[in-house]
Amino acid sequence: MSKERSIPKIEPKLVGQHNYAQWILSIEQTLSSYEHEEETLWEIVMGEVKDPDSEAKEKSADTKVKQWRRDNNFAILTMKQNCESEAVDVIGLARTANKAYLELQAKYEGKTISTLEALLINVIKTSYDDRTQTIEEHISDFDKKWSFMRSTLGGGIPDDLREFGKILVDLSKNNQAKGTFPLTTLPAYYNSLVANIQLKSGLTYGDITTHLKTYVPGRQKGRRKTTEDRTKENPIVLKGKEAKPDNVKHCDYCIGKGWKGLNHTESECFTKKREKKKAKKARAEEEENSDTEEPTINMIRIGKTAAA
């Protein structure tokens, strides 16, 4: 039997067009905190998780249908009970949370300059806290916010906001721009990693997120060794829930350079040994040059003295 949930209260309630942008972001953040199988209730609102086939005969399927309907009703009630009377009337007799959302969207969304600003601010203010999130969770959160901005802008822009709206629409469709934003969400600790990624031209959003998923966990591992204020209650998250067991050798030296560093340890690292030899050779050559340079100067001085 599922645990009974109380309807969360959101202040201020939805009054109309002027506070819709902030209200819907609050609804998104609230319903995203409630799980539905492997997704959240917000995915039900967005229509990404639909009602399973109620005619399926398997018991597990019937259970999924019942759970979906419970969560769908909870989402509708959350929206209704956090609306003033006019907005409740807009929702009307909608039987799904997605239908309720679409009715409100058609009535209030994308109508004012503050709405458009809120969409962009919602993306820009995204930040990555590597103590509470894996990089996979962070990228998923960013994806949802970007998709929300794009779908909202796709609903149409009023004529008086067309110039500003067009800039945002073009931005939301630009894959290169989308790839740039996640790099700005990382803490300063990852600046060298960001710089290395930015040096590579022609990267798509998929390329950039793949780089982050590959290299950020290694950087977190290095940070974990040096961060003083880390505690058992507040650890740095290293991997997602579905990460494979870490039975592969890793080289911290290579990872620190921004490479994968797989299948060998730091003590076995050929690259480290090679660079160490190069550094030693360079020092030896420098010392040799300094040794030969001094007699040459002395010889010049002796020559000058003899000439004098």
Tens of pLDDT, residue by residue over 42-73, are 999 999 998 887 555 555 567 888 899 999 99
- pLDDT surpasses 50 at 137: yes
Share of the chain above pLDDT 70, in %: 76
CA 148/CA 118 separation, integer angstroms:
11
Residue bearing the bigger pLDDT, 303 or 240: 303
pLDDT at 133: 85
pLDDT at 301: 47
Q: pLDDT, tens digit, for every residue of 213-236?
A: 998 887 766 655 554 444 444 444
pLDDT band at 2 (very low <50, low <70, confident <90, very high): very low
270 close to 254: Cβ distance less than 8 angstroms: no
> If you average pLDDT over residues 263-280, what whole number do you get?
78
Residue bearing the bigger pLDDT, 4 or 241: 4
